[in-house]
Amino acid sequence: MDDATGIQFAAGHRAGPPKADDGRAVEDALAFYRSLPDYTPTPLVCLDRLAAHLGLGRIWVKNEGRRFGLKAFKAMGAAYGLCRALARKLGVAASPLTLAALTDPSLAQHLAQITCITATDGNHGRAVAWAAQRLGCRAVVYMPRGTTPARIDNVRMFGAAVEVIDGTYDQAVALAAAAAEKHGWLFIQDTFQDGDEAVPAWIMNGYRVLVRECLDALGDDIPTHVVLQAGVGSFAAAIQAELSACLGERRPRATVVEPTRAACFYRSALAGDGQPHPVEGDLDTIMAGLACGVPSPLAWNILWPSADLFVACPDRVARRGMRVLGNPLEGDPPVISGESGAVGLGLVFETMSDPRLAGLKQAMGLDPGSRVLVFSTEADTDPVMYRRVVWGDR
């Protein structure tokens, strides 16, 4: 469906919740993060004034902006994925895995010989570099053409070797996979193209911990709606899988949102044949973390049958979210939210305040009884871009 606002949407298949598992994998990821001395759940903030202003029951924002001092949620998957891969390589017991088991002095020499490699739009690579430095192994990070200097510096500051390749994010992933194969390096990717599915699955198990944190903070106050931004889809699928596992039929209605020029899930939903479809082109968007043209099949297999709606939206929506979150109504707390972090709230805001989006509002099922959960998945990871948007240059 198309709209004069530039926001497009397509219904999900709604075949039912993702297949439930026994939750053990998430318990292991949780135990791992609890073994990190600097692990602490991030805040779930309530925007009551904004909810009333927009005609909604509640709005919660899970604020990932301070996660491990890295300004984005990504370490919640990358650190676990890397540590599980290292444990597998070094024969360290992994269920549950603790940081102490891997930082045992007897392993230091082995770790120093290991190189891990990944491709990133910024945040995932930063988290891999951070974790690798902590463990004493080497990291190589490929980034796509056009990556901003701030995002490159964010990775380099943790000692990783950065290579900016002449191609998109998806091409960077393919090149990193080939380099891993050629040199015998550990490939720590948050998406799956082919080869070893264990690493992206571990990363998704780490992301699922965010849901445990939310539900602990919410108690019986269960959201009716969740809006999840997608790049390769691992984040959205992990959250959706865990909400389904924990809440079953009470799980919130899920809307997946992407930038128009990189809307591979929206495009796949529109095709309606149950298959993931890539989008091509330069994937140009200010939402750098979502500039991915190839859905992870692991994510697609969860999201297609269980998400209610897939939305593609222009950069304007992310900008709106950044401005609204950073400049709240009196009584609501401010949230510093970056381009990829703010698009969920931006979408809710536009949908509730633009009469031209009545069709989308109806499709999302938003009304005064709705209790909406969004994730601000990053803070100002690119401070120059953040200022440009909120101070109004762009």
Ligand X SMILES: Cc1ncc(COP(=O)(O)O)c(C=O)c1O
Least separation in angstroms between residue 343's CB and ligand X is 8
In the bound state with ligand X, the residue whose beta carbon lies nearer, of 351 and 377, is 377
Can 182 be counted among the known catalytic residues? no
Q: Residue 7 has what DSSP assignment?
A: -
Q: Please name the amino acid found at residue 223.
A: P
Under 8 Å between Cβ of 244 and 305: no
In the bound state with ligand X, the residue whose beta carbon lies nearer, of 18 and 102, is 18
Distance, in Å, from the CA atom of 309 to the CA atom of 311, rounded to the nearest integer, reads 6
In the bound state with ligand X, the residue whose beta carbon lies nearer, of 246 and 342, is 342
Can 332 be counted among the known catalytic residues? no
Catalytic residue among 74, 308, 315, 380: 74
Query: What one-character-per-residue DSSP string does 263-319 give?
Result: -HHHHHHHH-SSS-----S----S-GGG---S--HHHHHHHHHH-SEEEEE-HHHHH
374 CA to centre of own chain:
12
In the bound state with ligand X, the residue whose beta carbon lies nearer, of 370 and 377, is 377
Least separation in angstroms between residue 39's CB and ligand X is 19
Distance, in Å, from the CA atom of 54 to the CA atom of 364, rounded to the nearest integer, reads 15
Catalytic residue among 28, 62, 121, 361: 121
Least separation in angstroms between residue 291's CB and ligand X is 9
Least separation in angstroms between residue 101's CB and ligand X is 27
Q: Which helix (H) or strand (E) holds 374?
A: strand 371-376
Closest residue to ligand X, based on beta-carbon distance:
289
Residues that bind ligand X in the complex, under the rule CB under 6 A: 72, 74, 121, 123-124, 190, 229-236, 289-290, 292, 340-341, 377-378
Contacting residues for 225 by C-beta, under 8 A, at least 6 apart: 252, 253, 254, 255, 364, 365, 366, 370, 371, 372, 373
The catalytic site residues sit at: 74, 121
